[in-house]
Amino acid sequence: MNERHSQSNVSLTKSTPGVAHITLQLAPANAYHESFLREIGMVIRTLEQDDSVRVVVINSALPKFFCAGADIKVFESNSVQQNLALVAAARTNANAIENSSKIYIAEVAGHCLGGGLEIAMACDFIFAAEGNYRFGLPEIKLGLIPGNGGTQRLVRRIGRRAAMEVLLTGDTFGLAQAQELGLLDGVYSAESLAAGTSEFAEEIARGPGRAIAATKRALREGSSLPLNQALALEAELADSLYETPDAEEGLKAFVEKRPPVFNQ
């Protein structure tokens, strides 16, 4: 399996069963404008319809940047209505990642700022490379606040007090502080980031697709519900899996003392 589909600024690669890579490649900083966001959105929608993919890794082909967020020069020259459309497109992409049935991993090895950090935080995991680069949500320095989920996803990752400081100062911070804040889910040497991410992604992708999607939905939706409603959601999702071929395979493999081979 080795498929590659490329648009001008975004490439989609499927080289490992169950795992796809979305690679951002808009030099010099993956600073986005509306057409770039449309390309990203098109790839996300394509993958959502692909039942063979269970895990998606978002990374960058640029050596110094994961994503710098919105292109400020474009933003400054736009009308208010154009900027609202730009933000709406970015918001749609972030929501599509978070609400996807796939597991998304942000693989970060360069500056991850503004809307770029919002993309990463919409993912289920953020894995980062050791290096001298910055994270941050500097929108307040422009008289704005993050509009693509940055305030809400940040507070859920690092807590209210720390999120308030990051958002109100707009200051950027390095890898050590990102780790200390709890923003990251894994840190690797620059040389081993891709391999470490792939190893984790492939492990998840070997699992049962419907149960993976159900797990993500249970955590995503249930965490904001009262406990009785969250338990009802869990019960609904769990009960829907008992008659699936993957459940049959998992139980049979356990009894036969062999690794399961899941298909759904």
Active site residue 221: no
CA 68 to chain centre: 15
Residue 102 near residue 65 (C-beta atoms within 8 A):
no
Catalytic residue among 34, 107, 118, 234: 118
Active site residue 202: no
The rounded distance, in Å, linking the Cα atoms of 205 and 215 is 13
Catalytic residue among 34, 39, 139, 234: 139
Supply the residues annotated as catalytic.
Answer: 118, 139
